[in-house]
Chain A
């Protein structure tokens, strides 16, 4: 039996688990690249699409709380800007309840204090909207700066370019980054909201595979926590399962030692 046949058999075994979304990023990438070129596996995969749906549907059904609808719709804002939640779990229903109390009780000391609280929350909401807008603007500026230069353009335009988005980790929850990777031409990374580095430290970018963690380069954000890095000498990197950014001693290290600030699974 040829190695291709062996590979086909091994991957075919994994198709059902792949179809329900239960493989890791690394396993998933292998299956996907095989299925693209194998019509038999693609056909078999399709048989499991309703199994994946059914697993989601057979859970005990519960109606979401009525206030959630208002909260969801309010969060999308009037100007099409989404507010990242994640802070206090459920202020929106409370806000709605508070507003109703204001109407029904009328003006009393209680209502006044509620009104004050509502005012504060409204202020916070406006600030959050502004922050989101600012964040988006910065990412756009960074992306434009990246696209303007010649080298990143060639990476971004590479036929084999892939995008991997990185999310902030508990040490830097508001940080985010986007990498564009071309095996033949290198890596472009733009990041925003990275915490300021202490003296003698640097951020380091890693490609993580199931076998190794490969250093891609060092990142020095500006005072606003932004960085656009063009790592055009980082060619022939291995196919990553994940991409991560850690904090390390100045000059970088051969293997990661510090806390992880950003990470994203490669798709």
Chain B
């Protein structure tokens, strides 16, 4: 088991290095390198965008925007900060949530307050880290096993970009309770990841 895990870890390291190498070639204007990154990660990014937006044409537009951004900004991305795929996922989620908000007619022009209060801002100092298939299955199971009172706020935050304040309002639940439940849900998912594989 540990051998498989070790091999998988080596695979991850190699994949991450291949991504970094491809990104460096994108900086030099190499279209094939962009295609390489697309071929490795478009499925994940598209699936995430589709989960958020639910309309295939919207998800396609988001993927197009993500890769345009990669093409233009590859040189600005500091690869020591985290994996390339972590960056791609963050950009894709951020773009998809922007579009979702635009479609909902939310913040922008009408209410300047909402910009500071109710809009989730997806970037983070610590980049996200992909997990292997077995860990993903455990997280999926753990999420499914959460009580609805914990699962729903988490899904509204991650897949719909609602702030905790907005979630509290929508679910007519005190803000403090929402914060506690989201924390509990995420602790549970972290623990599910830490469990040993069977």
Binding site for B on A (CB under 8 A): 13-14, 16-28, 32, 35, 45-65, 68-69, 71-73, 75-76, 80, 82-86, 89-90, 169-171, 206, 208-210, 213, 241-242, 244, 246, 256, 259-260, 263, 265, 267
A203 to B47: give the CA distance in the assembly, Å.
Answer: 40
User: How far does the Cβ of A239 sit from chain B's closest Cβ, in whole Å?
Assistant: 11
- Give the contact stretch, choosing among B2-10, B14-22, B67-75: B67-75
Contacting pair A68 B64 (CB below 8 A): yes
Contacting pair A16 B190 (CB below 8 A): yes
**CB 8 Å contact bits of B145-166 with A (1 = contact, 0 = none):** 0000000000001110101110
Contacting pair A19 B115 (CB below 8 A): no
Contacting pair A51 B42 (CB below 8 A): no
Report the interface size class on chain B: 35 or more
A170 to B101: give the CA distance in the assembly, Å.
Answer: 12
B38 at the interface (CB under 8 A from A): yes
Contacting pair B126 A46 (CB below 8 A): yes
- Chain B: interface secondary structure? helix
Contacting pair B90 A21 (CB below 8 A): yes
A230 to B163: give the CA distance in the assembly, Å.
Answer: 34
Contacting pair A64 B46 (CB below 8 A): yes
**CB 8 Å contact bits of B75-101 with A (1 = contact, 0 = none):** 000000000001001100110000000
Between A28, A54, A73, A83, the greatest number of chain B beta carbons within 10 A of the residue's beta carbon is seen for A54
A18 to B56: give the CA distance in the assembly, Å.
Answer: 29
| A–B Cβ pairs within 8 angstroms, 16 of them | A14-B179, A16-B190, A20-B157, A21-B128, A45-B125, A49-B128, A55-B139, A64-B46, A64-B60, A73-B38, A76-B34, A76-B68, A86-B61, A169-B109, A260-B108, A263-B115
Among A26, A170, A267, point to the contact of B123 (Cβ < 8 A): A267
Between B60, B108, B121, B182, the greatest number of chain A beta carbons within 10 A of the residue's beta carbon is seen for B121
Residue numbers in A under 8 Å from B122 (CB-CB): 21-22
Among B29, B102, B131, point to the contact of A53 (Cβ < 8 A): B131
In this complex, what residue of A is CB-closest to B124? Answer: A21
| Contacts beyond the supplied A49-B126, A51-B186, A69-B35: 7 A-B pairs with Cβ under 8 Å | A32-B125, A57-B136, A64-B43, A72-B64, A82-B68, A86-B65, A206-B112
Contacting pair A18 B89 (CB below 8 A): no
